[in-house]
């Protein structure tokens, strides 16, 4: 299929339009257009507020989150040369969850800083976990990928157990913790977008620049070194960028699975394994996919809103199986 970038960007635009136009309250498309172009809507009510302060910022947040997860997932799969890798492989999710639950057990004052406590703790927790895994896995000057995976599994198990323990002992924070973990956007407005934007730009920017290094890394550490790549440094920078993007993604949106795992595979099936193309495509594709999942989450059981994490899990897995069966390619990985 030609023009993959154009098609993927088109899909993203369509998904964004759906996300702005559709919600649990029906707003006629004409009014949506009027609000977006600054004219007053025909319909009496809160159409302008809903679109400008709810749907537009939420679309932006979900878009950025999906982009971060898609690109990090591709990067993790490349660094670890493992098709099962996803952005949470070395502890980001469990660290974020532990940080968030710890923060929820404190009564923060109702101030700007206090309200940011839980997402900030999640962000710091994610990065701290990855850093700890990195330290545990280091052998001299190298950081073997096997060690990273083992340390990641161990730390994740520990952090998750600790989180579960804290949740059981909590006095009513249980519901709030579960809701956050499942991936909900309780936060609304432009605040969350502005807060995570610098970290996301840093992380995504770093990832987009590492396509060539990832290509070289696919041949294994030895050959990569023999071809002239400074392997340890390249791997560290890539993991740092990916973890930064992932931490920013989970801070406000909780743990959303499957996007980071499946979107890179879909893009690889479609267009091959060159990471210089795969990374930007996974970014755009991840954004589009998460937007679609979020729209589904909002309408499928209206007026209830499902957490996005549930939709991605329920919809993502069967969809991926269907795609795999259609793909006649065997050597796509």
Partner 1 sequence: MLRIENLSVSYGTHRVLHDVSLDVQSGEVVALIGPNGAGKSSLVRAVSGVIPVEEGRVHTNGTDLLALPSMQRARHLAVVPQAVSMPPAFTVWETVLLGRTPYLNFLGQVSPADEEIARRALVRVDALDLAERRVGELSGGEQQRVLLARALAQSTPILLLDEPTSNLDLHYQVSFMETVRTLAHTDPLTGTGNLAVLVALHDLNLAARYADRVALMVAGEIKAAGTPRQVLTSELISAAYHLPVQVVPHPFADAPLVLPADK
Partner 2 sequence: MYRKFFFAFAVFTLILTACTPGKIDLTPTEQPAPTPITLTDGLGRTVSLPTAAQHVVSLAPSNTEILFAIGAGTQVIGRDMFSDYPAEAASIQDIGGSMGEYNLEAILSLQPDLVLAGGINPPELVASLEGLGQTVYFLPNPTTLEEMYANLETVGTLTGHGSKAAALVESLQARVAAVDAVMMPLNYRPTVYYEIDATNPSSPYTYGPGTFGDLLIQRAGGFNVGSKLEGQWTTISLEQLVTDNPSIVLLGDAAWGETPEKFAARPGMDALDAVKNNHVFPFDDNLVSRPGPRLVDGLEALAKLLHPDLFK
Residue numbers of the site for partner 2 (CB under 8 A)? 1, 11, 14, 18, 22-26, 43-46, 49-50, 53-55, 104, 108-110, 114-115, 118, 169, 171-172, 175-176, 178-180, 182, 184, 186-189, 191, 292, 295-296, 299-300, 302-307
Distance CA 198, CA 204 (A): 10
Distance CA 257, CA 266 (A): 15
* Interface of this chain with partner 1, residues 221 to 250, rule: CB under 8 A: 221-223, 225-231
Q: Does 330 bind partner 1 (CB under 8 A)?
A: yes
Of 229, 218, 328, nearest in space to 275 by CA:
218
Decide which of partner 1, partner 2, none touches 191; Cβ closer than 5 to 8 Å per partner kind. Answer: partner 2
Q: 142 has which bridge partners?
A: 139
Could you tell me the smallest distance in angstroms from the CB atom of residue 225 to partner 1? 5
Query: Is residue 258 within 8 Å of residue 313, measured between CB atoms?
Result: yes
- Looking at beta carbons only, is 220 or 272 nearer to partner 2? 272
Distance CA 124, CA 100 (A): 9
x/- site string to partner 1, residues 257 to 286, per CB under 8 A?
-----------x---xxx-x----------
Could you tell me the smallest distance in angstroms from the CB atom of residue 70 to partner 2? 19
Distance CA 198, CA 298 (A): 28
Q: Does 138 bind partner 1 (CB under 8 A)?
A: no
Decide which of partner 2, partner 1, none touches 225; Cβ closer than 5 to 8 Å per partner kind. Answer: partner 1
x/- site string to partner 1, residues 297 to 326, per CB under 8 A?
------------------------------
Q: Helix/strand/coil (H, E, C) string of 95-110?
A: HHHHHHHHHHCCCCCC
Decide which of partner 2, partner 1, none touches 43; Cβ closer than 5 to 8 Å per partner kind. Answer: partner 2
Decide which of partner 2, partner 1, none touches 53; Cβ closer than 5 to 8 Å per partner kind. Answer: partner 2
Q: Which one among 72, 213, 246, 253 touches partner 1, defined by CB under 8 A?
A: 213
Cis check: omega of the bond before 166, within 30 degrees of 0: no
CA distances from 21 to 35, 46, 317 (A): 11, 14, 27
- Looking at beta carbons only, is 89 or 296 nearer to partner 2? 296
Identify the DSSP state of 142: B
* Displacement of CA 273 from its chain's centroid (Å): 21
Could you tell me the smallest distance in angstroms from the CB atom of residue 321 to partner 2? 17
Distance CA 73, CA 285 (A): 12
Decide which of partner 2, partner 1, none touches 273; Cβ closer than 5 to 8 Å per partner kind. Answer: partner 1
Helix (H) / strand (E) containing 78: helix 56-80
Query: Is residue 241 within 8 Å of residue 203, measured between CB atoms?
Result: yes
- Looking at beta carbons only, is 217 or 267 nearer to partner 2? 267
Query: Is residue 246 within 8 Å of residue 221, measured between CB atoms?
Result: no
Residues forming the site for partner 1 (CB under 8 A): 81, 209-213, 215-216, 218-223, 225-231, 268, 272-274, 276, 330-333
């Amino acid at each position: 299929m030609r023009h993959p970038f154009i098609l993927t960007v088109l899909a993203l635009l369509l998904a964004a339009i759906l996300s702005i136009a559709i919600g649990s309250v029906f707003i006629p498309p004409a009014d949506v257009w009027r609000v977006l172009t600054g004219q007053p809507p025909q319909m009496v009510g809160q159409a302008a507020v809903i679109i400008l302060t709810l749907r537009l910022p939420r679309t932006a947040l979900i878009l950025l989150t999906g982009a971060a997860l898609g690109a990090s997932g591709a990067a993790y799969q490349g660094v670890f040369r493992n098709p099962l890798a996803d952005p949470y492989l070395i502890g980001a999710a469990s660290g974020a969850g532990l940080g968030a639950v710890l923060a929820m057990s404190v009564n923060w004052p109702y101030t700007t800083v206090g309200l940011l406590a839980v997402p900030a703790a999640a962000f710091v927790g994610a990065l701290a976990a990855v850093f700890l895994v990195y330290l545990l896995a280091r052998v001299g000057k190298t950081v073997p990928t096997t060690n990273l995976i083992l340390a990641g599994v161990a730390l994740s198990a520990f952090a998750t157990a600790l989180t579960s323990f804290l949740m059981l002992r909590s006095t009513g924070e249980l519901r709030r913790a579960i809701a956050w973990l499942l991936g909900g956007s309780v936060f609304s407005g432009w605040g969350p977008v502005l807060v995570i934007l610098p970290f996301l730009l840093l992380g995504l920017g770093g990832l987009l620049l590492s396509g060539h290094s990832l290509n070289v890394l696919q041949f294994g550490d030895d050959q990569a070194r023999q071809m002239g790549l400074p392997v340890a440094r390249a791997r560290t920078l890539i993991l740092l960028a990916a973890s930064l993007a992932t931490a920013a993604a989970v801070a406000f949106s909780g743990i959303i699975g499957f996007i980071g795992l499946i979107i890179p595979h879909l893009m690889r099936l479609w267009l091959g394994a060159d990471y210089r193309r795969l990374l930007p495509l996974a970014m755009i594709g991840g954004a589009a996919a998460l937007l679609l999942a979020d729209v589904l989450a909002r309408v499928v059981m209206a007026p209830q809103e499902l957490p996005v994490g549930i939709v991605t899990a329920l919809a993502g897995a069967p969809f991926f199986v269907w795609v795999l069966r259609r793909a006649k390619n065997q050597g796509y990985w």
